[in-house]
């Protein structure tokens, strides 16, 4: 009898699993059918007209939220453009406008506008006027009536990465092609946008162009704006095949691949005899739509009932098993509406495979504990870095979820931006903006590359890292502790501006929470504060400690973990402390800098670094205080106490890098520390 019962239970379980599989299969089919032609909007840039944040009245904030909400909902039913105003000139008036690209309307226009309306408050907090661009739409708001006014400053230029083989001929052809598009948009059709393919002939091949103006302008204003943008191309992009130039009122884009989707318009038939056939076709189409809709509703309802039953059966199931979809929602300790919702655009695996040549070694940027990192590009040509979860990674799945949870909603110029993710066919991938200068470690710890890091650049990097950490600790929606700050987790953009990356070990606190304990100590030798390494106690102060170590490394150009192997025979912290006590702290400065640095600035930076690495966490400053101390030339700094002992072990040269990376691209969780010995 018991055996029969087991067989019945097994049969029931198998049937349930089969139903679940079919449910997901059908649901995936409908979702893929609906979204196959809907690429995700990619952030291009923003303009916060007020350089500093200001205190906005409650009335203005209310009107602003109403305007953004109206713009988001209106985009679903409009033809891709509209504007509104709420309030009066004397009572917190807010003027708002959205304009989708000419070939983007309906649901996807709304998706882009809704994304912009959500992000603009994060990119430009507490601003009375702001503009944000995506590759498919623009959104503006202001406390002044700008509707119908031409705005061509400021403007932005984005040269492509591909160099022209014949720059003179390329530029001449581009100028001719784009002038024809401008004429089409402003004179011939007066639609204020146009896109076209050009057969340039010879060795140049196919080219594609797009022009668009904000549709609150007249044709004359649009023509003026577009021609002003085109005039900037020879100055910024003369040697490139592709480029994009834009201002608040218009944009032009040109490249050698089709970055837009073609517009198809349906017109009424000229022949009345076709009406009958059209009616029959319409009737059949309606029938098919109704059947598909009913099936979709049944599938969704079945899935909903099943998941409600499963959730009531067990709330403690492991969310991160290989067979369970990754949860993209995070609600620490029941925060409710203040929780972090990490819904990300999904990028099709087929496109990622294509752009990385099926994860070819030639596209690999590096490899770490998380897995390999590849260079690729999105469908619009945007260069990206793609992190691929290694199937052999013991902790990679946790870290993957962590990255999605924490960085998806974090918006700051000193944090690397997460553009999307992909979870298909047992692949788990994160897609980041591409940082052309790779990691700080690649430059700082290489004798030749370090020569490019002048003192001015190093100060900019120090201040940028500090601002990024301040945002995580105090200004983001959650208090985020990075827990793995080091040179390889700081990336540099084309202008050598720093951006913090790798949030695989990050943890979040509630706003009023200060510290927490963990039995799982994760991090990198040489950067961990003693209270975290020895007791598992983490707060913002271990991040401050790591920043202090990194600050001293930037000044001296040497890695803390390899300092034992140098002629000094002691840790970087102890050596810096000894020089400070002897009044010889300038001996710490990288010899490559010679006399190019500012003496008082260096001394102040060393002083701040020693304050950050003090043994007692209570003595270390917060990042807000660090930023003030770095900026002020007159502020009296407290006397530092003895730095903490070095956490880790004496390592051989072969062990200097705990990463498997050959190209020094950042990785998540390079070291997992279980036994910590004081030195």
Active centre residues (catalytic): 484
- What does the alpha-carbon distance between residue 398 and residue 504 come to, in Å, rounded to a whole number? 8
Q: Which of 242, 426, 256, 177 lies closest to 324, judged by CA? A: 426
> Cα–Cα distances in Å, from 490 out to 96, 134, 248?
37, 26, 32
DSSP 42-77: -EEEEEESSSS-----HHHHHHHHHHHHHHHHHTTT
Cα angle at 502 between 46 and 653, to 5 degrees? Answer: 135
Q: Give the number of other Cβ atoms within 10 Å of residue 275's Cβ.
A: 11
Please give the backbone phi and psi of residue 208, each rounded to the nearest 5 degrees, phi first: -130, 135
Are 202 and 196 a contacting pair, CB within 8 Å? no
Beta strands in 276-382 (DSSP E): 329-330, 340-341, 364-367, 372-377
- What does the alpha-carbon distance between residue 171 and residue 231 come to, in Å, rounded to a whole number? 11
Helix ranges (H only) for 314-435 are 349-355, 396-407
- What does the alpha-carbon distance between residue 447 and residue 445 come to, in Å, rounded to a whole number? 6
Q: List CB contacts of 346: < 8 A, sequence separation 6 or more.
A: 40, 420, 421, 422, 423
Q: List CB contacts of 659: < 8 A, sequence separation 6 or more.
A: 366, 367, 368, 369, 488, 667, 670
- What does the alpha-carbon distance between residue 19 and residue 40 come to, in Å, rounded to a whole number? 31
Beta strands in 214-294 (DSSP E): 243-247, 250-255
């Amino acid at each position: 009898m018991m055996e029969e019962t087991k067989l019945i239970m097994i049969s029931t379980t198998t049937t349930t699993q089969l139903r679940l599989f079919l449910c997901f299969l059908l649901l995936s089919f409908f979702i893929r059918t609906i979204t196959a032609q809907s690429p995700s909007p990619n952030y291009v840039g923003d303009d916060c007209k007020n350089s500093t944040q200001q205190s906005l009245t409650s009335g203005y904030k209310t009107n602003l939220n109403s305007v953004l909400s109206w713009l988001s909902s209106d985009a679903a039913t409009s033809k891709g453009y509209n504007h509104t105003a709420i309030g009066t000139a004397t009572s917190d008036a807010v003027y708002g406008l959205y304009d989708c690209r000419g070939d983007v309307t309906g649901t996807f226009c709304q998706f882009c506008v809704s994304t912009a309306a959500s992000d603009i408050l994060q990119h430009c907090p507490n601003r009375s006027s702001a503009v944000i661009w995506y590759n498919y739409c623009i959104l503006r708001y202001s406390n002044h009536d700008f509707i119908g006014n031409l705005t061509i400053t400021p403007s932005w230029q984005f040269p492509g990465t591909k160099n022209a083989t014949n720059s003179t001929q390329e530029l001449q052809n581009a100028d001719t092609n784009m002038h024809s598009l401008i004429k089409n948009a402003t004179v011939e059709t007066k639609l204020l946008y146009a896109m076209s393919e050009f057969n340039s002939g010879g060795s140049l091949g196919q080219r594609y162009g797009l022009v668009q103006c904000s549709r609150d302008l007249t044709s004359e204003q649009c023509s003026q704006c577009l021609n002003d943008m085109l005039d900037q191309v020879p100055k910024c992009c003369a040697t490139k095949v592709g480029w994009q130039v834009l201002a608040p009122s218009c944009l032009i884009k040109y490249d050698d691949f089709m970055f837009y989707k073609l517009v198809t318009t349906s017109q009424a038939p000229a022949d009345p005899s076709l009406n009958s056939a059209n009616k029959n076709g319409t009737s059949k189409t309606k029938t098919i739509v109704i059947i598909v809709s009913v099936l979709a509703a049944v599938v969704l309802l079945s899935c909903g009932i099943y998941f409600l039953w499963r959730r009531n059966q067990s709330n403690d199931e492991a969310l991160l098993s290989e067979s369970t979809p990754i949860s993209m929602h995070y609600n620490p300790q029941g925060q409710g509406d203040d929780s972090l919702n990490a819904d990300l655009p999904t990028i099709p695996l087929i496109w990622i495979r294509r752009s990385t040549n099926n994860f070819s070694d030639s596209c690999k940027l590096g490899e770490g504990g998380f897995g390999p990192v590849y260079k690729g590009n999105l469908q619009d040509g945007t260069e990206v870095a793609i992190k691929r979860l290694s199937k052999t990674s013991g902790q990679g799945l946790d870290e993957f979820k962590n990255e999605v949870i924490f960085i998806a909603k974090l918006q700051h110029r000193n944090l690397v931006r997460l553009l999307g993710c992909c979870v298909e066919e047992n692949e788990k991938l994160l897609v980041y903006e591409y940082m052309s200068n790779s990691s700080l470690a690649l430059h700082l710890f290489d004798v030749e590359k370090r020569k490019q890091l002048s003192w001015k650049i190093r100060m900019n990097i120090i201040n940028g890292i500090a601002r990024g950490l301040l945002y995580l600790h105090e200004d983001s929606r959650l208090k985020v502790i990075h827990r793995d700050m080091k040179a390889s987790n700081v990336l540099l953009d084309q202008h050598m501006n720093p951006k913090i990356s790798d949030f695989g070990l990050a943890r979040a606190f509630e706003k009023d929470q200060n510290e927490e304990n963990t039995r799982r100590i994760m991090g990198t030798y040489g950067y961990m504060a003693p209270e975290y390494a020895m007791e598992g106690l983490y707060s913002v102060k271990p991040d401050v400690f790591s920043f202090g170590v990194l600050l001293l490394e930037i000044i001296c150009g040497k890695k803390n973990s390899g300092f034992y192997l140098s002629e000094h025979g002691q840790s970087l912290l102890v050596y810096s402390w000894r020089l400070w006590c002897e009044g010889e702290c300038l001996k710490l400065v990288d010899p490559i800098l010679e006399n190019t640095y500012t003496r008082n600035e260096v001394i102040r930076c060393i002083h701040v670094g020693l304050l950050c690495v003090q043994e007692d966490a209570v003595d270390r400053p917060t990042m807000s205080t660090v930023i003030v101390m770095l900026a002020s030339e007159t502020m009296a700094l407290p006397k530092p106490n003895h730095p903490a002992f070095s956490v880790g072990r004496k390592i051989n040269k072969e062990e200097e890098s705990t990463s498997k990376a050959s190209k020094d691209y950042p990785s998540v969780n390079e070291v997992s520390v279980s036994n910590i010995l004081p030195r």
